[in-house]
Chain A
Amino acid sequence: MTVPTLDIVDLKTHFFTRDGVAKAVDGVSLHVMPGEILGIVGESGSGKTVTGFSIMGLVDPPGRIVSGSIKFKGEELVGAPPERWRQIRGHRIAMVFQDPMMTLNPVLKVGTQITEAILAHEKVDGGEARRRARESLVAVGIPSPDERLEAYPHQLSGGMRQRVAIAIALVNKPDLIIADEPTTALDVTIQGQILAEVQALAKRTGTALVWITHDLGVVAGLSDRIAVMYGGRVVEQGPTDDVLERPYHQYTVGLLGSLPTRNKRGERLVQIPGMAPSLLKLPVGCAFQARCPRADIACAVEPPVVRPTPSREHRCAHPHVPVMRAAE
Chain B
Amino acid sequence: MQDTISLCLMLIPALPLAAAVLIGALGPRLLKNYSHLPLILALAGSCVCALALYREVGLEQAKSGAQSIAGFEKVITLWTWADIPDAYDLRGTGATAADSGPRAFRLDIALRADALTAMMLAMVTFISTLVAVFAAGYMEGDRGYWRFFAYMGLFVFSMTMLVSVSNFALLFVFWEAVGVCSYLLIGFWYTKPEAAAAGVKAFLVNRVGDFGFALALFLIWCTYGTLNYHDSLPDGSVDAAALEAASSNATAGSPSDAAPAGPALIRGVLGQRRIAAGDYVTGGIATAICLLLLIGACGKSAQFPLHVWLPDAMEGPTPVSALIHAATMVTAGVYMVTRCTPLFAVSPTAQLVVACIGAFTALLAGLIALTQFDLKRVLAYSTISQLGYMFLALGVGTFAGVTSGMYHLFTHAFFKALLFLGAGSVMHAMGGVIDMRQFGGLRRLMPHTHWTFLFGCLALAGIFPFAGFWSKDAIFASLHDKIHELDHEIEHRDEHSHAPAVGQHEGAATHGTSADLHPSPLPKGDGTSPPGPLAKWSDSQLATSRAVYQWLYYSALLTAFLTAFYTFRAFSLTFYGDEVIPHEAGHHAHESPPLMVMPLGVLAVCALLVGILAISNPTNWGTNRLVDFLAGTPSLAAGEIALTKVPEQFHLPIAGISTVVAVAGMGLALYMYLGDRSEARFLQRVFDLQGLNRLTDPQWVLGLERVWWIGATTRFLRRNHLGWLVTLVGYVLAILSLILAAPLLVGNFVTPYKLSLRKFYFDELYAALFVWPLQLAAQIAFWIDRWLVDGLVNLVGRVPPAVGSLMRSLQMGLVQFYALAMVLGSLILIAARLYYAAG
Partners in one complex: no
Chain A contacts to B: CB under 8 angstroms: none
Q: Which residues of B contact A (CB under 8 A)?
A: none
